[in-house]
Every structure is written in structure tokens, then in C-alpha cells.
Amino acid sequence: MAYVAVKGGEKAITNAHRWLAEDRRGDTAVPEVEVAQIREQLSLAIDRVMSEGSCYDRDLAALAVKQARGDLPEAIFLTRAYRTTLARFGASLPVETGQMAVRRRVSAAFKDIPGGQVLGPTFDYTHRLLDFTLAANGETPIEGALEAEEAQAYPMATIASVFSHEDLLEADTRTPDAPEPFDLTRDPMAFPAGRDQRLQALARGDEGFLLSLAYSSQRGWGNTHPLCAEIRLGEVAVEFVPDELGFPIEIGEVTLTECQMISTGAGGTDKAPQFTRGYGLTFGHCERKAMSMAIVDRALRDASAGEASAPVQDEEFVLYHSDNVEASGFVQHLKLPHYVDFQADLQLIRRLRREHAERVAAMKEAAE
Amino acid sequence: MAVEAVVEGAPERRRWLSILAKAPSKDVIAAWEGLAERPDYRALRAPEIGMVLVRGRMGGGGDAFNLGEMTVTRAAVRLESGETGIGYVAGRDRRHAEIAAAVDAMMQSSDLRPAVEGAVIARLARGQDERRNTAARKAAATKVDFFTMVRTRSPG
């Protein structure tokens, strides 16, 4: 590839950006949308931007959505760019999702999970019919959520704790004096990837890409036969140890979506058969993403056990292509000037055609 | 946690710092501005916006992995009476972090503590409990009541 410095186009670019700003605003007879309105009323767009932008800040994500005219991968790019301007104070203690103040928790595998099936604010079971009353300029009376007499009790038992005494479900392990987890923002992708590196990459990964990969595995390209053991949505506290204190303090709360997928594992000579698990965790309410992430995590665990046969089980394929900022950058760079590449290709094609014509002419001559 | 045993006053301070951090910025500012008297303080660390890398646990209960970052604002102040306070709060509200630091310092002074213990800390804690309780009651209202359909065969 050749690069050549070319000047020019400044004026065209400035004018293009002015037009962009005008288009962003749209019809000025319609009131301008406020960042706070986006934050409050397009909250699932905010959740996706925070999740894949890998930066939890609802106001920032709302601003990014506004600036990007609702183009979420563009908003994610803006968020990623902003985060590089901030200093990092350090890393939190691992959040304890078992302690979550749950707003939604369902288990599709185990009907009688302790704490019950709590639907929370969900699109599930809606009829997916357009509701034209929402187009009635906010005149629709809103029926508030119903509040039960008795509050949901916390913490809610996890699927892992329910079956732990029987060893039916693979247990999480904690390594004493575990090294610092892999950090993709500081170190380049490395293979074979540890599960820490994989989960960080998947948590930042593109929802559409992970959804399609998860779907491919369900349809037989690396079959995982997953069951959804648990999905939970709610708030957890984030604890951090400031240098000046030396003990952990809570610095805020984040909304998280967590998904536990389980599938049957055949075990081995020294290991009895049990359910193995895939894990998904995202900022905000990103259920489709968390479920896809858990299925892909599970499929990649097969890969590390040497069973890889499908795209979803190929960790280099999955992890190198899951980031939509990188993917979109590389695909979209093709629209920037490639004049020199094209010149070179033209010369090559012209030479090949000349040689081809000479060969054809020579063959004709020989035949005559 | 083991550190609490060695750091004097840590559990109590952890509690109020948590309340100050988890409260919405507007509530913290309103509570502060509602105080009859606010002591003078000087900034040891002017409010600074940065990030904390949030970690999760693999599988929910295993070793740590890096989930993503969150914005955090920190500040440190010293009262004229000598107490120093710190604020570490989620988000990018500088005023919130500075007030949290000032209240933290006041809570460490036996003279100033009564002024903020009820009017700021208890008030913010009540707000948090109410929000938490409301959400928990809405969640409980969406809990599925299963019933089993019994199939009976009519005689004859």
C-alpha cells in the first residue's frame, strides 16, 4: 500500500460538516431533542453505547447518540475516543452480581428457582404491534408500574448456588493470588487467549456480530445446545480502593445485565458429566448482547478444549473481528483516497491485458 | 473485610462515603445548599474527572476480568479546623465530588458532624432506601405466579 500526501479539500470538508450539522438538527420547526430526553427516553440506545463504548456514563452516551444522529456504532466510536482523554484512577474490586438489586431475573431452565421468575421491565410477551398512541404527542396517559405490598427480597439466589451442593453445575474457581486480569486497553490481543481476555473482548464486542455468531452455533455450526439458566438485570455497587484511604469504598452503582448459559458436558475419565457454563455480562440493559456473549463464551471454551470446528469456536476469528470500532474503521477507510493504489492497479491490469493480447495473437499465428 | 479491622473508623466512613457517592448529584447539591452554615475549606485536590476500570468475575463468581470503564470524579478538601475529606463519585459532576469531600471532612469532626449527619447523610440515605424499595416493589409485582392446570377425565 502506498500513501502520498495530497493537499486540498479543506473548504469542501468544512462545508460538508456544516451541512452535516444542519441535517443533524433536522426541521427547525420541530423542537430540538435534549440530551436529557435521549438519556431518559432512548435508554436502551444509551445502554448499548456504554456497553460497546466500554465507558459507563449515561450523560456522555446520550450526548454521543445525539451527535452521531442516532448512529450507534458512530456514538460508540465517539465514546471510545473520549475515554482516551481521561486518566485512569485504577481498577475496581470485582463487582458482586450475586448481591445485585434485581429488577428482572428469569430462569428459562429452572422454573422453581428460589426468588421466583421476576419479569421486570421487558419487551418479552408484548405483541410487537406498533402503538400509535405513542405518536399522539405525549398526550397518552401513562399508567405507572404497579408496586407490590411486599418488596422483592435481596440478594436473590443464583443458579450456581442452587445446584452447588450436587456438583451438577460447573463451579466458578478463584485462584489465590491471581495475577491482574488481561487488559485489552493496555495490551494487544494475544493467543491463545485466556478467558479474562475473551470476556473483556466480548463485553466490548459488537452486538450484531455476537448475535449472529451465537445464532450460527445454535443452528449447528459448533453446536452448543445452550439453555438459559439465568438472566438478571439490576444495580450493583462498585467498590474501589483509593490510595489515600487504603480501604475499599463504594463510588457508585452501575446497572448490569448478566446471563448464565448452561449446556451438558460429557466429562472425562477423571471428571463426571456436569453442566458447563457460558457467561455474559454487560453494562446497562443489553439482554440480547448478554445472551449472545454467554453462548459465544461457551462455544470458545470448547475451542480451548481442542474441539474447534466452526467459526464461533475459532477464537482468533471471533476476537479479532468482534470490535465494531476496529471493524468499521478498516472497512470504512476504503472510502478515503486510494488514488495511488488505483494507479498501480491500473498499470498492472493494462500490462496483463497487453500480455494476454500478445499471447492470443501468438497462438493464432501458430495455428495458421 | 480484613482491612476494616486495621483502619480505625473505616466501616463508618465507608458507610457515609457510599451514601454520598450513590446519591444523585442534584440531591447532594440540594442537601448541601440547604445547610444553615457551611464551613470554609480549601481544596487539597481540585475536582478531577477520570475513570475507574470496572471488573467483573468470570462466571459471576470466579477470578476477575475487566468489564469496562466508568467515569469518576474525585476531590479532596481540608477544613480550617484541620480535618481532611475525600470524595470519589461516579459521573462527571465536580460539585458533587467536592461536596462529598467537604461532608466527609465534617463527619470526622465532632463539632461539625451534627450539622450534616441528619441533614445530609441521613436524608440522602432515606432517598436511596426509598428508590431501592420502590424498585423492589415494582419487581415483586412482576413475579410470575405459576399455577398448574389439572387435567381431569370426566367419568363415563
Contact B52 A92 (CB under 8 A): yes
Mean per-residue pLDDT over chain A, rounded = 92
CA distance A261 to chain B (A): 10
A274 contacts in B (CB within 8 Å)? none
Per the listing, cell 474441539 goes with A307
Question: Is pLDDT of A114 > 50?
Answer: yes
* Burial profile A212-224: b = 16 or more Cβ within 10 angstroms, e = fewer: ebbebbbeeebbb
Q: Rounded to 5, what percent of chain A is helix, strand, coil? A: 45, 15, 40
The ipTM estimated for the assembled molecules is: 0.92
What pLDDT score was predicted for residue B8? Answer: 63
Can you give the pLDDT at residue B2?
44
What is the predicted pLDDT for the residue at A61? 98
Q: Yes or no: say if A271 and A290 are a contact pair by the CB < 8 Å rule.
A: no
How many whole angstroms separate alpha carbon A73 and alpha carbon A92?
Answer: 27
Least confident range from A5-9, A166-170, A253-257, B77-81: namely: A5-9
Q: Check: CB of residue A47 under 8 Å from CB of residue A254.
A: no
Kindly report, residue by residue over B88-136, the tens digit of the pLDDT: 999 999 999 999 999 999 999 999 999 999 999 999 999 999 999 999 9
Chain A residues 245-284 within an 8 A CB cutoff of chain B: 245-254, 256, 258, 260, 277, 279, 281, 283
Cell 468544512, residue located: A14
Q: Would you call B57 and A172 a contact, using CB atoms and an 8 Å cutoff?
A: yes
CB B55 within 8 A of CB B144: no
Measured distance CA(B63)–CA(B57) in Å, rounded: 5
Angle of helix A207-218 versus helix A324-332 axis, rounded to 10 = 110
Query: Which residues between 34 and 93 in chain B have a beta carbon less than 8 angstroms from any beta carbon of chain A?
Result: 48-72, 74, 76, 86, 88-92
pLDDT band for position B3 (50/70/90)?
very low
Percent of chain B scoring above 90 in pLDDT: 85
Between A and B, how many residue pairs show a Cβ–Cβ distance under 8 A?
245
The lowest-confidence range among A58-72, A177-191, B4-18, B48-62 is B4-18
Per-residue pLDDT reduced to its tens digit, A189-219: 999 999 999 999 999 999 999 999 999 999 9
Between positions 2 and 41 of B, the ones with CB within 8 A of A are 3-4, 7, 10, 13-14, 17-18, 21-22
Out of B51, B59, B86, the one facing A88 most closely (by C-beta) is B51
Instruction: Say yes or no to pLDDT of B151 above 70.
Output: no
Confidence of residue B4 (pLDDT cuts 50, 70, 90): very low
- Residue B80, SS3 per DSSP: coil
Chain B: closest CA distance from residue A356 (Å): 56
B76 contacts A247? CB cut-off 8 A: no
Domains of chain A, residue spans: 10-83, 97-120+152-171+187-328, 338-368
The pLDDT value given to residue B156: 53
What is the C-alpha to C-alpha distance for residues A18 and A196, in angstroms, rounded to an integer? 44
Distance CA B134, CA B118 (A): 22
| A8–chain B nearest CA distance, Å | 38
Residue A78 pLDDT more than 60? yes
Q: What's residue A348's pLDDT?
A: 96
Percentage of chain A with pLDDT > 90?
77
